[in-house]
Amino acid sequence: MNVIGNAFEEIEDIVGTKYVTDSEPICYSYSMNCDTVLQGIPEIVVKPSSSEEVAGILKVANKYKIKVIPRGGGADLTGGAKPIGDGGIIVDITRMNQILDVDEKNHIVTVECGISWSELCAQLKKVGVGYYTGSTGPGSGFSATIGGGLSNNTLGGGGAAMYGNVTEQCVGLEVVLPTGEIIYTGAKANSFCKKPFTRFGLGPDYSGLFLGDVGIHGIKTQASLKLYPIPEYAAYSTYEINDNQDRKEYIKVMKVMQRWQQKHLPLHDYYYYTKGYTKLLTTFQIKKNLANMGVEGSVMFYTTVADTQKELENSVEQIEGIAEKGGLSKLGETVEEGNLGKWFYEEDGRWQWAHIYWGLYGPEGTSLGTCLKCPTYQLPDYIQLYEDWANRNREKFWSVGGGGANFIVIGCHPCYIDVTGGITLHTDIKNRKIYYELWEDLLLSQIKDLGAIHYWMGEIIGKTLVDSGALSKEYYDFMISVKKALDPKGIMSPGKFYLNRAYGGGV
């Protein structure tokens, strides 16, 4: 029997026949994410039910030197949760989806990493006074998991302006190392400590080694996150901005954000949709609202929360005073009157806003997108960069079924903003190489011209980061040393950041 056959049998002994397969159609269905990155078909797909089973699988993978790719909801947009090149084992952890502990005294929830953000939040709402995790995952939170979010350094599904990336809410992890050992990080690394409550202490912040690592350092099986009572009071407003001159409009929006930032106003969420994206919303998703309102410009909304009515009124007065002074026109209060902020906060808009963008063309559609952090003053330059990219590649886009370019701000923190954007396409597998080239072109401009700080890496962004020369030799060597210390045989997602080269090549 060949190596894969032997590994399959040993994994079958660990998880049982029902939860491992080498069936071609199933392996094929795990060969892509929600993106256009080149396919990679695994040889085995396994769905473990415990950390011990994950450990056993990794020991088998080490024994036979087979690559392993951790996978949560598979909602990655950059090819992260599928093999780079064919072959390997996909470890799908979505069966590990339990809430293990809600510690109301310390305000910490501990979960298995395969639970989705929307499920976790729905369950937390029913506990005690009703809780949530502050930053509640990505826009894909109906399917994306805690493990995927922590590995991708996610934000965008609510609470991001106030609480930052989900990784900032993490106080400790259980990780299965590539060699199969199980470790805790954070307070639980002290075996006498009963409950996780802080990430720091006991030496370096080892949780940080695994947060945002896109699965190259191990498989996260449990995570402890901070817990917050659902705020009693919330407010939201949406504005239209319609300026003849686009750049003037971007500067207007940027100035309002900067004033909010300077005053440290308690924004819970912040979004800005340029005209192109707003047009998509009016044409497709919530046309009954924005379209009927006759909205033709771009829109911007905020949400804010408070513990008392007085506190809320005070925040709203300050936030809206700045918006009004900045020359923005407020839409009505109800969702029907165009209040996207209310839709976002109250009606699961936080987990739906992105669907129109990535799902515009239905199952055949996809998008070349990126999420990144940038200093607020760079907002007009980023929008310009997207437009230049779209203009420079217009003919190529049309030749492969591309629609218009989109750009959105999805977070406003005290000292920077989060932005996302790209282009929607009718996907066709034969054009994947062209998509890859177009996308690389955008990434290289972002990284080189504006010093972009991306936070999902997947296959394409991690590789482009290396190709661009952005990482110094010393930094990249350090990355390799850490990787080799944790994963001596190079089995965990080896092609990301071209780390496979450090083991003598091969994907």
Ligand X SMILES: Cc1cc2nc3c(=O)[nH]c(=O)nc-3n(C[C@H](O)[C@H](O)[C@H](O)COP(=O)(O)OP(=O)(O)OC[C@H]3O[C@@H](n4cnc5c(N)ncnc54)[C@H](O)[C@@H]3O)c2cc1C
Binding site for ligand X (CB under 6 A): 33-34, 69-77, 80-81, 93, 113, 138-140, 144-145, 147-149, 151-152, 154-157, 214-215, 219-220, 354-355, 358, 371, 456, 458, 493
Count, in order, helices (H) and strands (E) of the chain.
17, 19
Nearest to 415 by CA among 377, 452, 470, 443: 377
Q: How far is the CB of 74 from ligand X (least distance, A)?
A: 5
Q: How far is the CB of 71 from ligand X (least distance, A)?
A: 4
Strand-pair partners of 299:
240, 273
Q: How far is the CB of 206 from ligand X (least distance, A)?
A: 15
Q: How many whole angstroms separate alpha carbon 156 and alpha carbon 371?
A: 10
Closer to ligand X by Cβ: residue 224 or 315: 224
Q: How many whole angstroms separate alpha carbon 263 and alpha carbon 15?
A: 54
Tokens of 245: 């001159």
Closer to ligand X by Cβ: residue 220 or 279: 220
Residues contacting residue 140 through CB under 8 Å, at least 6 positions apart: 34, 73, 75, 157, 351, 354
Closer to ligand X by Cβ: residue 134 or 139: 139
Closer to ligand X by Cβ: residue 322 or 499: 499
Angle at 185 (CA atoms; ends 488, 484), nearest 5 degrees: 15
Which segments within 7-47 are labelled E, that is strand?
A: 20-21, 44-46
Nearest to 298 by CA among 250, 256, 346: 250
Q: What are the strands of the beta sheet with 267-273, ordered from one edge?
A: 329-330, 233-241, 298-306, 267-273, 402-412, 417-426, 365-374, 453-454
Closer to ligand X by Cβ: residue 260 or 497: 497
Greatest alpha-carbon pair distance for the chain in Å reads 74
Closer to ligand X by Cβ: residue 159 or 326: 159
Residues contacting residue 395 through CB under 8 Å, at least 6 positions apart: none
| DSSP secondary structure of 121-173 | HHHHHTSTT-EE-SS---TTTTT-BHHHHHHHT---SSSHHHH-SGGGGEEEE
Tokens of 190: 């002290």
Q: How far is the CB of 457 from ligand X (least distance, A)?
A: 7
Closer to ligand X by Cβ: residue 316 or 371: 371
Q: How far is the CB of 16 from ligand X (least distance, A)?
A: 20
At residue 26, what is the residue type? I
Q: How far is the CB of 367 from ligand X (least distance, A)?
A: 9
Q: How far is the CB of 409 from ligand X (least distance, A)?
A: 12
Q: How many whole angstroms separate alpha carbon 25 and alpha carbon 4?
A: 17
Closer to ligand X by Cβ: residue 113 or 331: 113
Closer to ligand X by Cβ: residue 219 or 447: 219
Closer to ligand X by Cβ: residue 283 or 309: 283
Q: Quick count: other Cβ atoms within 10 Å of Cβ 434?
A: 18
Q: How far is the CB of 292 from ligand X (least distance, A)?
A: 25
Distance of CA 57 to the CA centre of its chain: 26
* Distances, alpha carbon 263 to alpha carbons 134, 195, 304, 319, 344, in Å: 21, 37, 14, 9, 24
Q: How far is the CB of 20 from ligand X (least distance, A)?
A: 18
Closer to ligand X by Cβ: residue 315 or 493: 493
Q: How far is the CB of 78 from ligand X (least distance, A)?
A: 8
* Torsion sign, CA atoms 351, 243, 407, 404: positive
Q: How far is the CB of 145 from ligand X (least distance, A)?
A: 4
